[in-house]
């Protein structure tokens, strides 16, 4: 490859080490590992065999279910490709604005004085009668005496 390589294109050396399932389906954007490829194919065959042994489905399911799983994985790869291509069409200004909106803000906030947050002061919820000194604040002694 002589030109710039996109992240979805694999070199021949790297493609050689991919699982056969991913190479057979021609996956470019979805890159399942060996265990996931095993689950996709052998797991689907085992599930279909168990369903056929339980006589819940016919024996054709042993052939059809792995094919259907492969079709779903390929559709997922095609959808991922379209999402990546549509994201590449978004102007850089919009991407920067989105990143700016999504950055967490770290700092301190000024909080006004709250009576119940002061040590040594107990706030009760009893209502006060009009024209009297508020009885909601009861002072505790700070030192034992």
Q: Tens digits of per-residue pLDDT, 80-108?
A: 999 988 888 777 777 777 776 666 667 77
Asked whether residue 73 is assigned to any structural domain, the reply reads yes
Total domain count for the chain? 1
Q: Helix, strand, coil proportions of the chain in percent (round to 5)?
A: 50, 5, 45
Asked whether residue 125 is assigned to any structural domain, the reply reads no
Please report the pLDDT score of residue 85 as a whole number: 86
pTM of the full predicted structure?
0.55
Asked whether residue 119 is assigned to any structural domain, the reply reads no
Asked whether residue 71 is assigned to any structural domain, the reply reads yes
Please report the pLDDT score of residue 115 as a whole number: 55
Whether the CB-CB separation of 140 and 122 falls below 8 Å is answered with yes
Nearest Cα neighbor of 44 from 67, 13, 60 is 67
Which residue range(s) make up the domain with 79?
31-99
Asked whether residue 4 is assigned to any structural domain, the reply reads no
Among 48-62, 104-118, 123-137, which is the least confidently predicted range?
A: 123-137
Asked whether residue 23 is assigned to any structural domain, the reply reads no
Asked whether residue 20 is assigned to any structural domain, the reply reads no
pLDDT digits (tens, 9 = 90+) for 23-64: 999 998 888 989 999 999 999 999 999 999 999 999 999 999
Please report the pLDDT score of residue 144 as a whole number: 59
Asked whether residue 134 is assigned to any structural domain, the reply reads no
Confidence of residue 1 (pLDDT cuts 50, 70, 90): very low
């Amino acid at each position: 490859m002589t030109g710039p390589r996109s992240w979805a294109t694999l070199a021949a050396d790297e493609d050689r080490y991919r699982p056969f399932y991913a190479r057979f389906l021609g996956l470019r954007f979805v890159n399942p590992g060996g265990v996931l490829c095993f689950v996709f194919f052998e797991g689907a065959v085992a599930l279909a065999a168990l369903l056929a042994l339980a006589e819940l489905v016919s024996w054709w399911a042993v052939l059809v279910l792995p094919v259907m799983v492969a079709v779903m994985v390929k559709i997922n790869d095609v959808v991922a490709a379209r999402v990546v291509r549509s994201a590449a069409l978004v102007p850089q200004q919009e991407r920067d604005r989105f990143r700016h909106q999504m950055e967490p803000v770290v700092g301190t906030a000024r909080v006004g004085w709250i009576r119940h947050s002061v040590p040594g002061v107990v706030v009760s919820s009893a209502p006060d009668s009009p024209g009297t000194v508020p009885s909601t604040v009861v002072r505790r002694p700070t030192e034992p005496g």
